[in-house]
Amino acid sequence: MPEISALMSVYNGAEFVAETIESILAQTYSDFEFIIVNDGSTDITREIIESFNDHRIRLFNFVENKGVGPALSFGLSKVQSKYVAKVDADDISIPTRFEKQKEFLDSHSDISVVGGFVEFFPHNEKVKNSARYHTFKTVIHKEINSLVDWKAIKEKMYWYCAITHPTIMGKTDVLKKIGYEDFPMGTDYNLFYNLNKLGYKMANLPQVLVKMRVSDSSITATKNEIFFRKSVFRIKKEEITDLLDDSECVFIWGAGSMGQNLFYALKTHRLESKVRGFIDSDLTKHGKMVLDKMIYSPQALAKYGTKVKVIIASQPGKFEIADYLESKGYNHLEDYLVYY
Q: What would the pLDDT profile of 173-204 be if each residue is shown by its tens digit?
A: 999 999 999 988 899 999 999 999 999 999 99
71-88 pLDDT, tens digit per residue, is 999 999 999 999 999 999
Matching CATH number, 4-214, of 3.40.630.10, 3.40.50.10140, 3.40.50.10300, 3.90.550.10: 3.90.550.10
Output the pLDDT for position 217: 54
> CA-to-CA distance for 137 and 100, rounded, in angstroms?
25
CB contact set of 289 (below 8 Å; sequence gap of 6+): 295
Residue segments in the chain with a per-residue pLDDT below the cut of 70: 217-222, 306
What are the backbone dihedrals phi and psi of residue 101, each rounded to the nearest 5 degrees, phi first?
Answer: -70, -40
Q: What is the DSSP letter of 332?
A: B
| Distance from the first to the final alpha carbon of the chain | 39
323 in Cβ contact with 296 (< 8 Å): no
Output the pLDDT for position 5: 98
Matching CATH number, 236-338, of 3.50.50.60, 3.40.1160.10, 3.40.50.970, 3.40.50.720: 3.40.50.720
Order of strands, edge to edge, in the sheet holding 57-62? 57-62, 32-39, 4-10, 83-86, 169-171, 111-122, 201-214, 92-93
Output the pLDDT for position 222: 58
CB contact set of 303 (below 8 Å; sequence gap of 6+): none
Q: What share of the chain is helix, strand, coil (3-state, %, to 5)?
A: 40, 25, 35
Output the pLDDT for position 284: 95
Output the pLDDT for position 153: 97
CB contact set of 106 (below 8 Å; sequence gap of 6+): none
Domain spans in the chain, listed from the N-terminal domain onward: 4-214, 236-338
